A and B are shown apart, each in its own frame.
Chain A
């Protein structure tokens, strides 16, 4: 919201408010300044006002809050007393418009908007129209916060009715758009049908122009619960809908009608034929009682009751105080005050949050442990980073085509699709993290990365919309080759399998993602959580020497080592067999076609004694026999 500093100062004639004070005070009142500009020679503040405070969406409204905190006087409102008999029937057919102040005036031969008002409007980014009724209405809205409207009275037909629209009715609004109305739309109508959106925008058919001779003013109060959805429904966000849609001050309806008429008298030589009000201002809000104990609890410290009373009174509340409570009737412009907590906030806000002390609460509750899932993710991400992987963060939604390649048959994209996505490429909650990692890997490759090592920990959606926290790794490109001791070679599935196995991913398959990229993904709940003990329970280990033996076996190419290992492991003693692995695979010169040599390594260890070479030799021989049983031969 744009606020002209000099006009703000005008509403606070005795406060001596400087620019520096305004910039300091307003944020501390809850109205941060987003920028300061000079427009038309005026200092204009861009003030951020939260949606709950329509009452400060004007120069006077903001000044009123400043006056309350500063203890300063507000400028008196100019008063004009108009009256007269109704000139036209006005029917309020719904409680959504309880009061409607109007006036009918004939305009003089010439009209001119005063230079200072033109500057006011321009400084706020508006263009003066030179039509007194329009410019005055705009000026009053920004000065006092109450939206008004002027109809060309000669274009009106019959009685004015404030009612909800009927299905099928249409209205051409001032912006030239022909709008279809719904029964939820609150409108102003005459015998011709709808002529304005109540509180949002006037209609084209009855608008004021250069040729207008007679005007009918509208200064009413419309229910925010009706105006706000209406503005949203028609995407019509106007200064009027902004204020009525959040809650205007009903008492200001008649006051601003008078001010508007007064301006037309002064700027356009107008003559008031009559001014009258239909309906009545809604009853004031109920009194709210704030126990002082509650005020003190909310502050966390003792707040002076007399000060609380004074501050609420300065806000315009009718306040009374007992020994234990403060009771306040909120002013007509504060629809946001309904609970004792609201009053407490106002007291603390005006008093200044900086005056509240600062202390840590004493909470007599035992600390709770971190959950296994959190600890799993935390330790896994650290582990992976130390293993050389880069953690990525990618969007949870992807395109249906990318998703399809990784989604199970029983998990159709339709079940995970957004109804209102930003675009097709962001429309499906991903079944797997791998497509996102693949895209990220390809980006990095295009950026010249020889080796890409990525992981992400995030929810995947492998079965409908139930998010499953998962971890995925993608590794690809060339590894090594950066020093004289490590040769460069392509990243192989075995590399990723080794990492996956060391992380406890079990038998999760290594997936070939194409483009030289390999991936693996598991759900976090399939991983063992890090132990909750600070350090694990002790388990004995053998202090006797381990014995290693190698056996070179020739097997058919394509014969899985797993078969050999199972056969040999089956005949070797447990737990003496500590390790059974392959330390070399030879497929080079000297091998018969279709054969390969595996250098198998065994490690044996006894829990309570040193092994003898005879027993180890016996085991190796039995392993050899078992291997021969599945087609291996001892390499000569």
Chain B
């Protein structure tokens, strides 16, 4: 429908006749925005004036006048929009500066690769209901050895393997993250005033314990007196090897991707029975055999097993009711394997070039 322009006041008609010329005269977006304000802005514009006019118009004119106003306003808005798009396109086409000049960049830091790997493990286990437990580096023999069924004459307890403190010979630097097991199991095994333990109250326990551990190894390309482990543990009722296998296979797929293939071999650790080691299909050669996997196609990645009944008993948990599994993974070993880093010392030297390359941001 053609707008019935004759119903409109002369100043509007004038504005309308100048519209096209003024529109093309808008050289930039600022000018266009000003013109937009004058024609269709909320207050003081031609369109606003027309709306006021409509309010005071005689009843019989309202319908036609309204239609005319709407048509005019729509036409203006449409044309302004088109021109705005044109101007924006032009603006982009004109280089305001040399875009090939290196721009200021925000600084880039990085998480340590060992931290990233530990975080990834936590991430892999969170959907299975695991939380994170922490424990101190300075530990007691009870937590580090006794509670883990490690006999009093075990060589690992010797001062050639374990760091002890001179002023406090009863304290040592933990040699693994397994003392966190003892601490958490004791907390969950302790009965409250009503005779109910936290384990009974909650019905189960699942956690990871990432952390720093110490062994008296000389510093060389494959040894370090400090390294990291991630401990994991699950306690519930009726837990067997099948669950251990299923859980770790799941986690390795979360860590290494859906194609991750694992195998379990019998092994021995005093705090589990049965014990096992888990290998993953060599990530370097895919199983055909290489230097990293010593030709076997498999790389050992962690030790695990069902919690030894004596470990549960030590914490006051009845092993005829509760059972579970535990595992411990060497973080550096896995980080070196995955990254094919040639020297363990790189991880503790903290060269920013290494950290930038290996760490990145998650």
Contact = CB atoms under 8 A, between A and B. Distances in A.
B223 to A, nearest CB: 11
Interface residues of B, number: 97
B108 A388 contact: yes
B204 interface: yes
B348 A348 contact: no
B33 interface: no
B286 interface: no
Contacts of A385: 109-111, 359, 361
A439 B219 CA distance: 17
A444 B267 contact: no
Nearest to A375: B132
Interface in B246-291: 246-247, 249-250, 263-268, 273-277
The listed residue with most A CB atoms (<10 A of its CB), out of B119, B205, B350, B362, is B350
Contacts of A416: 165
B112 interface: yes
Interface in B320-362: 323, 347-353, 355-356, 359, 361-362
A232 B155 contact: yes
Interface stretch (B20-28, B40-48, B72-80, B96-104): B96-104
Interface of B (DSSP majority class):
mixed
Given A33-B296, A357-B242, A420 B273 contact: no
A353 B132 contact: no
Interface residues of A, number: 96
Contact of A452 (B103, B207, B352): B352
Contacts of B356: 390
Interface in A47-82: 50-53
Interface stretch (A186-194, A391-399, A528-536, A554-562): A391-399
Nearest to B247: A360
B202 interface: yes
B241 interface: yes
Contacts of B314: none
A354 interface: yes
A465 B247 contact: no
A395 B163 contact: no
A228 interface: yes
Given A228-B153, A395-B225, A458-B212, A299 B242 contact: yes
B101 A484 contact: yes
A427 B58 CA distance: 98
A632 to B, nearest CB: 35
Nearest to B168: A465
B356 to A, nearest CB: 7
A390 B108 CA distance: 8
Given A356-B245, A357-B242, A225 B153 contact: yes
Nearest to A479: B107
A349 B266 contact: yes
A544 interface: no
Contacts of B167: 414-415, 417
A261 to B, nearest CB: 34
Contacts of B59: none
B319 to A, nearest CB: 9
A378 interface: yes
B179 to A, nearest CB: 13
Interface stretch (B9-17, B63-71, B83-91, B133-141): B133-141
Contact of B216 (A357, A414, A422, A485): A422
B105 A483 contact: yes
A35 interface: yes
The listed residue with most B CB atoms (<10 A of its CB), out of A357, A361, A426, is A361
Contact of B265 (A353, A371, A482): A353
Given A353-B241, A353-B264, A419-B164, A429 B138 contact: yes
Contact of B352 (A50, A358, A449): A449
B180 interface: no
Nearest to A29: B266
Contacts of B128: 360
Nearest to B106: A388
A368 B136 CA distance: 21
Contacts of A388: 106-109
* Chain A to chain B: the 7 pairs with minimum beta-carbon distance, closest first: A388-B107, A300-B242, A300-B240, A365-B204, A30-B266, A345-B274, A419-B166
Interface of B: 101-112, 114-115, 119, 128-134, 136-138, 153, 155, 158-160, 163-169, 171, 173, 202-207, 212, 214, 216, 218-219, 225-226, 228, 234, 236, 238-247, 249-250, 263-268, 273-277, 294, 296, 300, 306, 308-309, 323, 347-353, 355-356, 359, 361-362
28 contacts: A28-B265, A29-B266, A51-B268, A297-B239, A300-B239, A300-B240, A349-B274, A353-B241, A356-B242, A356-B264, A359-B242, A359-B245, A360-B128, A360-B247, A365-B202, A365-B203, A367-B206, A371-B131, A381-B111, A385-B359, A385-B361, A394-B350, A395-B348, A447-B353, A453-B107, A459-B137, A465-B138, A483-B104
